[in-house]
Structure 1
Amino acid sequence: MDIRRIDETISVSPQLTVEDVSEAAKLGFKTLVANRPDAEEPGQPGMADIEAAAHANGMEWVYLPVESGNIFDNDIERFDAMIRQAQKPVLAFCRSGTRCTVLWALSSARTEPAQDIVNKARKAGYDVGGLAPRMAQQAGKRS
């Protein structure tokens, strides 16, 4: 399991297995978020199985599927609302962790300086510098 901490509220990861969920719970994660559509790729674990494992381990489960490369404003709004309401810390996963990081970056741009977001993502191993124009569009949008 390759968990990458973005900040004190959220970490991201590539695809998790059912077995990874219990380990994530032992590490203290309270909410598990799937940003990957079910059956996006042959052989990926079923989301129903991961959801069951999350509940069995006392974690909140949130399913916010987003197609890779197709993140729209309504996806950002849903992610933003989720991250504000979720029990923390949150562990979000997708195929590589990039999609989750992009959603976090665009959501966070509503209240945080873009350079802080870029720096946090970089420390976690993700480059979101190319999102600067979209982050600027998100500034101040939180409802």
Structure 2
Amino acid sequence: MFRQLSDRVFASPQIGLEEVAEAARMGIGLIVNNRPEGESDDQVPGSEIESAARAAGLDYVAIPVTHAGFSEGQMKAMAAALASTDKPVLAYCRSGTRSTLLWALAQASQGRQPDELAAAAAQAGYDLTPIRALLDMLAAGKQ
């Protein structure tokens, strides 16, 4: 269920309490919730995921992303979340796509190459094509 994007970052579709326990067993140190509350009736509320994560000794942060797109604030928050720990990170949303796209934007803003990011995302089953122009622009700004 958890798809590896880098040596320490994983993306996932919506998780539940069992997946929080699995993340803890895997050594995940931070769970990032990229799903807005109330997006669908069947989603586990972020507050329940946060409680389970904290009970398991994991950090938790919510950076909700709607289908309206990504903001600079969200990108900076994701970069800060990734930089806040040396432990593995699990980011989730409905399908894992928004988490993957936000991860890639945060990485490009730090100077990581878009081709490298696209290859990593593709290996995990995600497509960065919708944000490729933005990735190129962000990476170019760091050269």
Q: TM-score, normalised by structure 1?
A: 0.92
Gaps of 5+ in 1: none
In the TM superposition, what are the counterparts of 1:98-109 in structure 2 within 5 Å? 98-109=97-108
Alignment-derived partner of residue 92 in structure 2: 93
Deviation at 1:69, TM superposition (A): 4.2
- Write the distance in 2 (CA, Å) between the matches of 1:87 and 1:37: 26
- Write the distance in 2 (CA, Å) between the matches of 1:76 and 1:86: 17
Give CA-to-partner distance per residue, 1:87-116, whole Å, 9 cap, x none. 420000000000000001111112111100
The alignment yields a C-alpha RMSD, in angstroms, of 1.5
Alignment-derived partner of residue 75 in structure 2: 76
Contact 1:34 1:63 in 2 (8 A): yes
Contact 1:16 1:93 in 2 (8 A): yes
Structure 2 residue identity aligned to 1:30? G
Alignment-derived partner of residue 32 in structure 2: 33
Alignment-derived partner of residue 54 in structure 1: 53
- Write the distance in 2 (CA, Å) between the matches of 1:21 and 1:86: 17
Alignment-derived partner of residue 43 in structure 1: 42
Helix, strand or coil at the partner of 1:109? helix
- Write the distance in 2 (CA, Å) between the matches of 1:140 and 1:85: 25
Alignment-derived partner of residue 138 in structure 2: 138
Q: TM-score, normalised by structure 2?
A: 0.92
Deviation at 1:140, TM superposition (A): 6.0
Identity of aligned residues (%): 35
The answer to whether structure 1 residue 115 and structure 2 residue 115 are counterparts is yes
Aligned residues: 141
